[in-house]
Amino acid sequence: MIEVSPSASVPAGLPAGNPVTATLFHSDQGGHEQVLLCQDRPSGLKAVIALHSTALGPALGGTRFHAYAASADPEQSAVLDALNLARGMSYKNALAGLDHGGGKAVIIGDPEQLKSEALLRAYGRFVASLGGRYVTACDVGTYVQDMDVVAQECRWTTGRSPENGGAGDSSVLTAFGVFQGMRASAQHLWGAPTLRGRLVGVAGVGKVGKHLVDHLLQDGARVVVTDVREESVRAVLAAHPGAPLTAVADTWTLLRTEGLDLYAPCALGGALDDETVAALTARIVCGAANNQLAHPGVEKDLADQGILYAPDYVVNAGGVIQVADEFNGFDFTRAKAKAAQILDTTTSIFERAAADGVPPAAAADRLAEQRMGL
Ligand SMILES: NC(=O)c1ccc[n+]([C@@H]2O[C@H](COP(=O)([O-])OP(=O)(O)OC[C@H]3O[C@@H](n4cnc5c(N)ncnc54)[C@H](O)[C@@H]3O)[C@@H](O)[C@H]2O)c1
């Protein structure tokens, strides 16, 4: 679950100068409301909590625990990452129909070396100090057990274990939501909300990808999978003996599979770059991975090639819908019903895109901005 981190330079289109303040005060998505830099020397905690917007309600987004070791200035990279991720959560939460704004936190350091109960509790006290303006959850490097510890200090914690009143593993409804996005795409392109008889390629059969394969096979699709971890591929194949399910060596082979109808990136960010788009034969891209578009303009290249792209943050919102439900005392049926609405949301984005003559990714941004009043 590693996504592309921003470089420590001023993002395109922003005034020259300090990249943090440029992103914070001048970004064209309306800037950010607040950033909290936190330190607890005894436990070694250094963290950034970024709130992009609370216009729709308390900012909701996960806690990333990452070292930023490849960066010349890890702390600045961490702040920029938190700012960008928080903005992304505003858009995701707005289109998921949640009464939540967008926020994200980053704990700086290698979780393998630094994570401790003292550090997580110190972090929880900083989240609590925001008095409910920010609600946290899991992200890359943090897990359900970690949120149970954070929750000991802070009531604004989701993503906890079911034993502690939480929703548990969010990949279940993430996969369900992506499948709804696929159904909406199939309806839009082929006239029926089903993948029956279609060939679907899933790149990455981790927590989300493996559940997605279940939904696809149940719907009557044929599926081809790939993963860099051989044991993940073996587990998926073993779970579906006799099913129309095959595996290929890598994503390049998957992309070129003859007759591929739909490509589902479910591994890393940046899956859709110039090379991939040029090689794509599938007519639909719809997957769970965050930040699939490697750079601005890819969404237009996809549209120009006649490929329907279901925007990542719209179709992968099932997980945040799941954790948001914890506030009302988690109810799986209610959360699943809300995640099912991803079908209608994706459909309305395709309709808006067609009406406005813009790619679906641009239509999604416009709809989210409308709801946020930006
Ligand atoms: N888990 C959630 O609820 C959730 C919610 C929203 C978005 N997402 C996004 O969905 C994606 C998958 O999340 P996950 O929770 O399943 O993560 P995961 O780590 O469980 O699974 C990712 C899988 O991708 C594989 N992989 C990595 N590099 C690959 C490559 N180059 N080619 C093929 N496979 C590769 C990994 O081996 C792993 O099995 C991530 O981008 C994540 O940010 C997840």
Report the CATH number that the domain containing residue 127 is assigned in CATH. 3.40.50.10860
Q: Choose between 302 and 7: higher pLDDT.
A: 302
305 located within any domain: yes
Lowest mean pLDDT among 18-22, 79-83, 366-370: 18-22
Residue 16 pLDDT level (bands cut at 50, 70, 90): low
Statement to judge: residues 36 and 51 lie in one domain: yes
Statement to judge: residues 115 and 249 lie in one domain: no
- Per-residue pLDDT for 346 more than 70? yes
SS (H, E, C) the chain: CCCCCCCCCCCCCCCCCCHHHHHHHHCCCCCCCEEEEEEECCCCEEEEEEEEECCCCCEECCEEEECCCCCCCHHHHHHHHHHHHHHHHHHHHHHCCCCCEEEEEEEECCHHHHCCHHHHHHHHHHHHHCCCCEEECECCCCCHHHHHHHCCCCCCECCCCHHHCCCCCCHHHHHHHHHHHHHHHHHHHHCCCCCCCCEEEEECCCHHHHHHHHHHHHCCCEEEEECCCHHHHHHHHHHCCCCCEEECCCHHHHHCCCCCCEEEECCCCCCECHHHHHHCCCCEECCCCCCCECCCCHHHHHHHCCCEECCHHHHCCHHHHHHHHHHHCCCHHHHHHHHHCHHHHHHHHHHHHHHHCCCHHHHHHHHHHHHHCC
pLDDT at 140: 87
Mean predicted confidence (pLDDT) in 327-346: 95
CA 171 to centroid of ligand 1, rounded, Å: 10
Binding-site entries for NAD(+): 204-209
64 located within any domain: yes
Q: Nearest to residue 318, comparing CAs of 99, 207, 172? A: 172
318 located within any domain: yes
What rounded mean pLDDT belongs to the chain? 93
Is 270 near ligand 1, meaning CB less than 6 Å away?
no
pLDDT at 26: 72
Statement to judge: residues 133 and 221 lie in one domain: no
4 located within any domain: no
Statement to judge: residues 321 and 189 lie in one domain: yes
Q: What is the CATH number of the domain that holds 368?
A: 3.40.50.720
Statement to judge: residues 284 and 256 lie in one domain: yes
11 located within any domain: no
Residue 4 pLDDT level (bands cut at 50, 70, 90): very low
Residue 328 pLDDT level (bands cut at 50, 70, 90): confident
Number of domains in the chain: 2
pLDDT at 23: 77
Residue positions annotated with a catalytic role: 104
For residues 328 and 338, give the distance between their C-alpha atoms in angstroms, rounded to a whole number. 13
Give bridge partners of residue 102 from the DSSP assignment.
Answer: 53, 60
Q: Name the residue of 63, 207, 293 whose CB sits within 8 Å of the most ligand 1 atoms, as the mutation to test its pocket.
A: 207
Domain boundary among 164, 182, 200: 164
Calculate helix-pair angle for 360-372, 74-95, nearest 10 degrees. 80
Lowest mean pLDDT among 7-16, 206-215, 231-240: 7-16
Statement to judge: residues 113 and 238 lie in one domain: no
pLDDT at 14: 56
Mean predicted confidence (pLDDT) in 6-24: 62
Residues 118-169: tens digit of each pLDDT: 999 999 999 999 999 999 999 989 999 999 999 999 999 999 999 999 998 8
188 located within any domain: yes
* pTM reported for the whole predicted model: 0.92
- Per-residue pLDDT for 208 more than 90? yes
Statement to judge: residues 155 and 178 lie in one domain: no
Position of tokens 């909701």?
Answer: 60
Statement to judge: residues 160 and 237 lie in one domain: no
Residue nearest to atom 30 of ligand 1 (CA): 228
Indicate which atom in ligand 1 lies nearest the CA of residue 232: 39
Residues 93-124: tens digit of each pLDDT: 999 999 999 999 999 999 999 999 999 999 99
Is 109 near ligand 1, meaning CB less than 6 Å away?
no
Q: For the chain, what percent of residues have pLDDT higher than 70?
A: 94
Statement to judge: residues 190 and 322 lie in one domain: yes
- Per-residue pLDDT for 344 more than 80? yes
Indicate which atom in ligand 1 lies nearest the CA of residue 173: 3
**Domain ranges, residue 66:** 24-88+102-164
pLDDT at 5: 39
- The values of phi and psi at residue 345, to 5°, are -60, -45
Is 224 near ligand 1, meaning CB less than 6 Å away?
no
Burial 2-31 (b: 16+ CB within 10 A, else e): ebebbebebeeebeeeebbebbbeebebee
Is 291 near ligand 1, meaning CB less than 6 Å away?
no
Q: Nearest to residue 271, comparing CAs of 254, 257, 246, 283? A: 254
57 located within any domain: yes
For residues 50 and 64, give the distance between their C-alpha atoms in angstroms, rounded to a whole number. 12
- Per-residue pLDDT for 13 more than 60? no
Residue nearest to atom 2 of ligand 1 (CA): 171
Domain boundary among 119, 146, 164: 164
Statement to judge: residues 111 and 210 lie in one domain: no
Show the tokens assigned to 208: 């989300």
Residue 12 pLDDT level (bands cut at 50, 70, 90): low
Statement to judge: residues 185 and 78 lie in one domain: no
Indicate which atom in ligand 1 lies nearest the CA of residue 268: 41
For residues 168 and 145, give the distance between their C-alpha atoms in angstroms, rounded to a whole number. 9
73 located within any domain: yes
Statement to judge: residues 364 and 316 lie in one domain: yes
pLDDT at 269: 86
Domain boundary among 136, 164, 192: 164
Residue nearest to atom 17 of ligand 1 (CA): 1
